Amino acid sequence: MKVVRLRAGKERSLLRRHPWIFESAIAKGGGDAGETVRVESDQGQFLGWAAFSPASKIRARVWSFDEAQRIDASFFTAACARAVQARTRFDIPSNAMRLVHGESDGLPGLIVDRYGDTLVAQFASSGVERWKEAIADALLAATGLHKLYERSDASSRALEGLPEVTGWLRGQGEVELLLQEHDWQLAVNIADGHKTGFYLDQRDSRKRFSDYARRLRFERVLNCYCYTGGFTVAALTGGATHVTSIDSSGPALEKAAANVALNGFDAGRVSFMDADVNASLRQFIDQGRSFDAIVLDPPKFAPTVAHAERAARAYKDINRLAFKLLEPGGVLFTYSCSGGISADLFHKIVASAGCDAGVDGYIHERMGGAPDHPMTVNFPEGEYLKGLVVMRK
């Protein structure tokens, strides 16, 4: 077994059971891509068994802090079974859910979502890539399913020195699937949709937006970065009179229109715009338009903390424009899915945007990912999605 020895003082995070070991923390030692190494302090104290990644700044990810643990196929069988079992204790009103959420489930770099009878997996680190076949077998054993599609095409693969890989890993089947969520249905494509096919992490936020639409009787709703129309369908289900939905992807808008039709809503209640969100918001201000509710759910502006300053400016700009378009008493659902933007920083960005817009508001709720995308005590970085519900005064 190869050994990785840390620099003095760099063992503290591992003693708190944080699973990441950065390149700068290592004094000596290493291994092949994905190889299990023994991690020790500068004094030789055992700290954990980790998957080594020679290409990544996160040079090793811990599998186990138990010195007696063997990292073999049975380890992954047990870990996948625990993750799947945990979801039976969550409230998930859908036939689609996240079954494995990387570090939060003790499987760093592994994302697994279930869509009905089909699993979709992303192998984003050298460790899970090395154990891919064993993990695939473990997932099917834990779920009793037979189809597993691989979507290892996330940009983080490049940071690990891994090529993009997509396609059926186990079994064969349709890639166009139907997701049942709350009171509506949504069509997803696991081969070319974002992430593993859809943004399952916003499931509960879509329901809350639908509830607000029903309670406050929204008439004019603006859904920015609408993708395939999840928040649009939620607003219509809640009784919104009209929803303007903006995205810069024509194919995504076509799917959004199809989802509106799938749920039986009149196409006249929705306007779709293939356009840039910032430019559209400015145009609406010039036109004197306003909205009872606005959703801002942009893509990841800051993948790391290094990108936070530039991303903060982008988040502030779109929120400032949205505040200007919001009717008094109107509601803004605003989100950041950037890991480099903390919940506290995001709150400050939105507050600053409101000040610049000359708008004050009540923060009704703080939103996060659905419970099947858990953050754990030992891995707070799992809280990548954060949101605020603000009612304009």
Give the Å distances, CA to CA, from 323 to 285, 329, 347: 10, 11, 14
- Contacts with 275 (C-beta within 8 Å, 6 or more apart), sequence order: 246, 248
CA atoms within 13 A on the CB side of 370: 25
Cα 109 from Cα 123, distance rounded (Å): 6
Give the Å distances, CA to CA, from 66 to 60, 71, 227, 384: 16, 10, 43, 28
Amino acid at residue number 224: C
Angle at 318 between CA 313 and CA 324, to 5 degrees: 125
Query: Is 337 a catalytic site residue?
Result: yes
Structure tokens at 337: 């899915």
Structure tokens at 166: 């997509």
Strands (E) across 231-357 are located at 242-247, 270-274, 291-296, 326-336
Cα 384 from Cα 111, distance rounded (Å): 14
Cα 350 from Cα 332, distance rounded (Å): 11
C-beta atoms surrounding 184 within 10 Å: 21
Given the residues 80, 226, 337, 355, the one annotated as active site: 337
**Per-position DSSP letters for 300-319, written without gaps between them:** -S-SSGGGHHHHHHHHHHHH
Amino acid at residue number 188: V
Handedness of CA 123, 128, 132, 134 (dihedral sign): negative
Structure tokens at 274: 């293939």
Backbone phi, then psi, for 151, in 5-degree steps? -125, 60
Amino acid at residue number 375: M
- Catalytic residue numbers, as ranges: 337
